[in-house]
Each structure stands twice: as structure tokens, then as C-alpha cells.
Amino acid sequence: MADLFSNLALGFGVAFTPINLMLCLIGALVGTLVGVLPGIGTIATVAMLLPITFGLPPVGALIMLAGIYYGAQYGGSTTSILVNIPGEAGSVVTALDGFQMAKQGRAGPALAIAAIGSFFAGCVATVLIAVLGAPLTKLALAFGPAEYFSLMVLGLIFAVVLAKGSVLKAIAMIVFGLLLSMVGSDIETGASRMAFNIPELADGLGFATVAMGLFGFAEIIRNLDAGSESDRELVQQKVTGLMPTAKDLKDSAPAILRGTVLGSILGILPGGGAVIASFAAYTLEKKISRHPERFGRGAIEGVAAPESANNAAAQTSFIPLLTLGIPPNAVMALMVGAMTIHGIVPGPQVMQKQPELVWGMIASMWVGNLMLLIINLPLVGIWVRLLRVPYRLMFPCIVIFCAIGIYSVNNAPVDVILAGVFGLVGYWLIKHDFEPAPLLLGMVLGPLMEENLRRALLISRGDWSVFLTRPLSAVLMAIAAFLLVLALLPSLRKKRDEVFVESEN
């Protein structure tokens, strides 16, 4: 316990330096700014803003990125509430009741409750990370290559089970990602793989490049299809009366609490996280409410619960990343990309070797949440004005920002072209109803999986049963198999689809 406090003290010492506070503030602001833009989700925001952190020292860069992440999430919910265009799956649920509230002229309380709920969830999750981080790191030391491989399989299966739509297609996307990660030099032999003698490919496909293409460019192209102007119905009334009434607070307090608990648990699980947490929290609220018919008509619990769950899950999903070095979702995968660029290999050793980095980041998460609460409520007016900028002017700006961003990663024009290619690939994927997020996760986990698979089989002298004979690995594999079977069972599939369908109407 004393350990915990000294660690947190160390963390807050790092986070409260003026420079890091500044970076956290800028990150949260810029993240919100980009996240507010309709049609740009959290992943796209983080991918787009990744390059601006490259010039910073590692601790500062990660703190800023964490700020961007929360800002983007908060920005996404602002858009969902005000314009009814959720930037990503996670805030789809918020749009249901949030937009209804906004239509009734209660956009202010909706936004405020979202911020308060997120802040509360963030506080709880920060403590949870601090408490669970150290013991889980010890657990990680018991992990051999076989266990790592099994855990990653489990994580990927989780991602599949929780993804929307066909299980088969989601698995196919993961394998597509794994295959893409094979491009470049082989780690052990140095042989060039599938690079076609193109020098820019010798180092592999840049992660930021692919992410920006699949989520940035593809999203823009798709939005252009839709006839962007027609389906945007911005709440025209002025957002007044920010403060929720006492009744609002009383109604939403238990919802926030339940959302936080649910989100914290779901966030730790690899592969799941924010999306399913908000769906689950919304469904739970609707189930236990005495007046379920109010949901979808502007019930404040319908905003409070998913927003808290979303934020709690976003934060606890740092746990598998920091302790095991395994990114549980696409945003965390981007974080891994950022860490590797700064020469940090995430995993248990980081916690021991660079405690100021890990604890500084954990502390700054809390600071970031606080800042969001403080800066965003007064700034709602600005975000509303930003939302009035027509898409025909906004999208070329986003294209240029993305292009400059990708170019500045390596100063390589080829990277920009590759991102463009992946933009078209992403557009194609959307048209064929494939989800790009599992692809990104597969791409990050690919090299890790290959390395651990190789090692495990080398140690076991080529015996594939090692994954089932080592107890920890066997348990992980069994859970993965169980989940996969569950996901394929028709009865459960129907339920799962219902959850998603319900949220779309």
C-alpha cells in the first residue's frame, strides 16, 4: 500500500511539472478540437495527431497522447449529442438519448453530465490502474512465450466477438492485418519479405501510415459519398443552462456508478474495451430502469451510463498495455506505435526500468480528465460554432493535415502515397462491410505474435501441444475457444445483433 502511494506521488510529481501540465492541456484541447469534427472517431484523431508529438521527450509525448485520447473521446460525445453524428461506435449509444435531450433544449445538462460522468469514471479508473498495475506486472513475469501467444490469441478473439457484424469477416480482417505486418524485414534472419525490392517497404508498413489511410482518408471519402450536407441536423437553439438540475444529478448518480464499474471491468479485458462497455452500460440501464420507455426519448441516465463506462474502459485498457505490453484495442495499438517511435518497448520491464514514465502517465490521466471537465464546459459554445463549418470546407483541410502529418513522420513522400492507397482500401472495406479496427489490431500484434510463436516452438522443440500443456496458456486458449464457440452459436448471435441493431435505430 505504501508502495502505491509513493508510486502515485512520483507520478503526480512528474505530471505536475509546468511543461507536462501544458502538454496535457494542449493534448486535451487539440484532441477535443479534432474529435468534435463529425465523422472523425477516436482512432482517426489519435492517428492524425500522432506526428505532432514526435518532437517531444518520451514522457511528454505520451502524456500529450493520453490527453489527445481523452479529448477525442469527449469531443466525439459532444458531436453525438449536438449533431447526432457519432464519430465512432463507442459514442453511438450516447447519441440515442443525448441528441433527444439536445432537441428538447437540454443539450447543456447532457454535455455536463457526460463530462461529470467521464470525470468520475476517470478518477476511479486511475486508482484502479495504480492498484492493479504492480501485481499484474508480477503476473506478467510468469508469462513465457507460449502464454504471451495464447493471450494475444485471446485478445484477438475478444476483438472479434465484440466487433459488429459477421464473426468470420472480423477474423478475416485480423488475419489481413497479421499478413500486412509481415511486410518488411524478418526479425530473426533479416530476409526481406514481400517488399518487392521497394526500399521504402524494407522497414515494413508504417503503422501510422496505415491507420491514417484506413481511418482518416477512408472516412473522408466515405463522408463525401453520403452527400454530407443533407444529413447533418445541428441543434439550432443556443446551448444555454449548462448546469444540470438537482433532479438530473440524482437520476444520473447511480447510472454513473454502474457505468463506471461495468466499464472498468470490460476495459481490462483484452480486445474489448470502450465500445462494448458503452453498449453494455446502456443496455443495463434500460433493463433495470423502472421506466424503460423513457430511453431513446432523452433519458439522462442514457447519457450518463455509457459515457462513464466508455471513459472508464478507455482508461483501464491501459492496464494490459502497461503491464503486458499487449495493446487491447486499436487506439492502444497506436500508443504502442508512438512508444516504439520513442524507443520504449511497452511491457513489464517498462514499469520497473522507467517508473517515472508509467506513473507520470497514470497521474496525467487523472489530470487530463480534470482538465476536460474544466475546459470543455465553458468551451461548448466554440465546439458548436466549429460544427457549423460546412463539410465542403472542412474535408480538404483534414486531407491536407493528414498528408502533412504522415509526411512529417519519416519525411518520406512514399508514405503519403501508401496512406492514400490504404484510404482506398479502407473505402473498399467499408463498402463490403468489413471492419477496419480489427485489421489495425492484427497489424500491431502480428510481429509480437510471430516472435512469441517462434520462441515457444523453439523452446518446446517444435511441439505444438505446448500451448495446451502449460496450464496458464491452456486456460487462456480454453477461454478463447469458449468465446469463439459462444459467438458462433446462433442464439447468442441473435442477441448480440439485437444489441447493435437497437442502438442504431
Partner 1 sequence: MADTLGQSSDRSASTTRNVSAALGVLVLALAPQLVELLWSFATIFGVSGRSTLQVLSAHGAALLLAVPNYLAGANGKGLGSDTLLALIYSYPLFAVAILSLLIKPKGPQDYFGGVALVALALFALWASSDLQGMRGFSFGAGTAPRMFGILLLALGAGVALMGLLAEGPQLATYHWRGPLFVTLSILSFSAAIRPLGLVVSAFAAFMIAGMGTPETRWKETIIVGICLTIGCSLLFPYALGLPLQLFPRFLVQ
Residue ranges binding partner 1 (CB under 8 A): 51-52, 54-55, 166, 168-169, 171-172, 175-176, 178-179, 182, 186, 188-189, 191, 193-194, 196, 217, 220-222, 224-225, 228-229, 390-393, 395-397, 399-401, 403-404, 407-408, 411, 413-414, 416-417, 419-420, 423-424, 427-428, 431-434, 446, 450, 453-454, 457-458, 461-463
Give the residue with the Cβ less far from partner 1, 174 or 371: 174
8 A C-beta contact, residue 392 and residue 226 = no
Give the residue with the Cβ less far from partner 1, 375 or 399: 399
The sign of the dihedral angle between the CA atoms of 62, 439, 468, 447 is negative
- In whole angstroms, the minimum distance from the beta carbon of 164 to partner 1 comes to 14
**Rounded Cα–Cα distance for residues 320 and 323 (Å):** 5
**Rounded Cα–Cα distance for residues 292 and 282 (Å):** 11
HEC-encoded secondary structure of 379-423: HHHHHHHHHCCCHHHHHHHHHHHHHHHHHHHHCCHHHHHHHHHHH
Give the residue with the Cβ less far from partner 1, 294 or 455: 455
Give the residue with the Cβ less far from partner 1, 221 or 373: 221
Give the residue with the Cβ less far from partner 1, 196 or 494: 196
**Is residue 393 packed enough to be buried (19+ CB in 10 Å), middle (13-18) or exposed (0-12)?**
exposed
Cell triple for residue 193? 519479405
- In whole angstroms, the minimum distance from the beta carbon of 428 to partner 1 comes to 8
**Is residue 257 packed enough to be buried (19+ CB in 10 Å), middle (13-18) or exposed (0-12)?**
middle
Give the residue with the Cβ less far from partner 1, 194 or 202: 194
- In whole angstroms, the minimum distance from the beta carbon of 213 to partner 1 comes to 9
- In whole angstroms, the minimum distance from the beta carbon of 292 to partner 1 comes to 31
**Rounded Cα–Cα distance for residues 322 and 294 (Å):** 40
- Phi, psi torsion values for 202, nearest 5 degrees: -60, -30
Tell me the residue type at 149.
Answer: F
**Rounded Cα–Cα distance for residues 15 and 17 (Å):** 6
Give the residue with the Cβ less far from partner 1, 48 or 121: 48
- In whole angstroms, the minimum distance from the beta carbon of 379 to partner 1 comes to 20
- In whole angstroms, the minimum distance from the beta carbon of 167 to partner 1 comes to 10
- In whole angstroms, the minimum distance from the beta carbon of 10 to partner 1 comes to 29
